[in-house]
Amino acid sequence: MQELATPLIVLGLLFFVGLAADRIGRKLRLPRVTLLLAFGLVVGQAGFDLLPSAISELYPVVAIVALSAVAVLLGSSLSLENLRGHGRIVIIVSLSVVLMTQAVVTIGLWGFGLPLALALVLGALATATDPAATYDVIDQSGQDTPFTKRLKGLVAIDDAWGLLAFSLSMLALRLVGDTAGEESPMLTAAYELGGSVALGVAIGWPGAILIGRFSDGEPLRIEGLGLVFLTAGLSLMLGLSYLIAGMTVGAVIVNHTRHNSRAFAEVRSIEWPFLIIFFVLAGASLDSKALLLAGGAGLAYALLRVLGRLLGGWIGGTLARAPKQESRLYGAAMLPQAGVAIGMALAASEQLPAYADQITALAIGTTAGFELIGPLVTAFVLSRQNTNKSG
C-alpha cells in the first residue's frame, strides 16, 4: 500500500496549492486559473518534472469530470428568463465572434503563405474557447451583472458553434478532395451535436423532476455528482460531446426546477476541487517548446485570433444593439482556449496527415499561451466593465 502514499500526499498538497492560489489571486487581483496553470508548468515536464506519473495519469478523468461540471453550470445560465433579457445579444455576438475568428485567421494565414487547407483548419481551431477558465474568472470576480450573465451565455454556446465550424471546414476539405476520411464530417457533426443535445435532455428532464425529491440537504450533492458523472460517461460511451450534453442538462434543469439554485450550488461546491487538479495537470501537460516549433505561423495565428475575436465581439455587439461599452469587450473576454482546440487539432491531424506536425505543434503552443494569458485579459475586462458601471 505504500505505493499509494506519494500520490495521496501530492493530491493533498495540490488542494492546498489551490487554496493558496485563491488567496494570492484575490490579493494580487490575478486569476487563480493562471496561477494554477503556471504552477503546473513549473512542476510538470516542461519544468522540474516533479509530479509522479500516477498523478499525471489522472488528467484525462479529472479533465472530463471538471469540464462536465463546468458545462452543467454554464447551461444553468441559459434560463428562459436570462435568454429573454440577453438572448438576442448572446446568439448574435457568439455567431459573429466565431465567424469573424474563422474568417480572419483563415484568410490571414493563407496570406501569410500557408496552404489553404491548413489555414482553413487552423481558422476552425481558433474558434474554440475555454469555458472553465472564463467561468472561473467570472466566479472569482464576484460580479453578477448583465455583462457577466451575457458572457456566461456566450461561452456556453461558443464551443458548440466552434464544433460546427470545424465540422463544416472538414466537410469543405473533403468535398475538394483534400481529406481521405470515410465518414462525412457533416453527418458526424449532426450526430455529435444532435445526439449530445438529445442525451442532455434525456438526463436533464428526469433530473429536473428528481432533484431534491428524496430529502433536503446532503443528498442534493450526491444528485449533482450523479448527474455530472452520468452525463460524462454516457457521452463518452456514445461518442458524443460531454460539453454540449452537460450544457443541455444544466439548461433543462434550470428551466424546469423551481429549487434549481440549490442544486447548482451543490454542483459548484464539487466543481472547484476537480478544477484545482485539472488546471495544475493542464499546466503540467503544456509543452513550452511547442510554441517555438510553431514558429512565425504560431505568432501570426495568435495575433489573428485576437484580432478576429475583437472584431467579432464589436461587430456582433453593434448588430445586436448591445451597450456600446460592452461591445468592444466581448471578444477580449473570450480569449482563453483549452481542450476543445486540442481535440479539434488531433481530429484534423488524422484527416490531414501531411500537416499533422504543424497542426499539433501550433495548437498546443498557442493554447498554452492563451490559457495562461487569456484569463488575465478576461479579469482585466471584468475590472474595466465594473469601473465603467461604477463611473
> What one-character-per-residue DSSP string does 71-115 give?
HHHHHTT--HHHHHHHHHHHHHHHHHHHHHHHHHHHHHHHHHT--
Q: Report whether pLDDT(118) > 70.
A: yes
Could you tell me if residue 224 is inside a domain?
yes
Average pLDDT rounded to a whole number, residues 7-26:
85
Residue 234: its pLDDT value, please? 95
Could you tell me if residue 46 is inside a domain?
no
Burial environment of residue 23 by CB neighbours within 10 A (0 to 12, 13 to 18, 19 or more): exposed
Residue 238: its pLDDT value, please? 92
Could you tell me which residue, 347 or 113, shows the higher pLDDT? Answer: 113
As a whole number of Å, the CA-based R_g of the chain is 20
Could you tell me which residue, 169 or 138, shows the higher pLDDT? Answer: 138
Alpha carbons 187 and 263: distance in angstroms, whole number: 35
Alpha carbons 220 and 226: distance in angstroms, whole number: 10
Q: Report whether pLDDT(320) > 80.
A: yes
For 273, the domain range is 56-279+291-390
DSSP track, 298-326: HHHHHHHHHHHHHHHHHHHHHHTT--HHH
Could you tell me if residue 342 is inside a domain?
yes
Could you tell me which residue, 53 or 360, shows the higher pLDDT? Answer: 53
Could you tell me if residue 313 is inside a domain?
yes
**Cβ pair 274, 33 in contact under 8 A:** no
Average pLDDT rounded to a whole number, residues 296-313:
90
Q: Report whether pLDDT(307) > 90.
A: yes
Closest Cα to residue 151, out of 341, 332, 346, 380? Answer: 332
CA 180 distance to own-chain centroid: 29
pLDDT digits (tens, 9 = 90+) for 226-275: 888 999 999 999 988 887 888 889 888 888 876 656 667 777 777 778 88
| Structural domains counted in the chain | 1
pLDDT band at 29; cut points 50, 70, 90:
low
Residue 290: its pLDDT value, please? 58
Range from 126-130, 175-179, 187-191 carrying the lowest mean pLDDT: 175-179
Instruction: Calculate what percentage of the chain has a pLDDT beyond 70.
Output: 81
Could you tell me if residue 20 is inside a domain?
no
Average pLDDT rounded to a whole number, residues 3-15:
85
Could you tell me if residue 50 is inside a domain?
no
Alpha carbons 348 and 345: distance in angstroms, whole number: 5
DSSP summary character for residue 182: S
Structure-block grid coordinates of residue 235: 457521452
**Cβ pair 281, 55 in contact under 8 A:** yes
What CATH number is given to the structural domain containing 97? 1.20.1530.20
Residue 76: its pLDDT value, please? 77
- Helix H, strand E, coil C: the string for 168-180 is HHHHHHHHCCCCC
Could you tell me if residue 33 is inside a domain?
no
DSSP summary character for residue 129: -
CA 319 distance to own-chain centroid: 25
Residue 78: its pLDDT value, please? 72
* Cβ count within 10 A of residue 221: 15
Average pLDDT rounded to a whole number, residues 129-157:
82
Q: Is the pTM of this model over 0.85?
A: no
* Cβ count within 10 A of residue 387: 9
Residue 179: its pLDDT value, please? 46
Could you tell me if residue 34 is inside a domain?
no
pLDDT digits (tens, 9 = 90+) for 185-231: 567 767 877 898 899 999 998 888 777 665 554 446 777 888 889 99
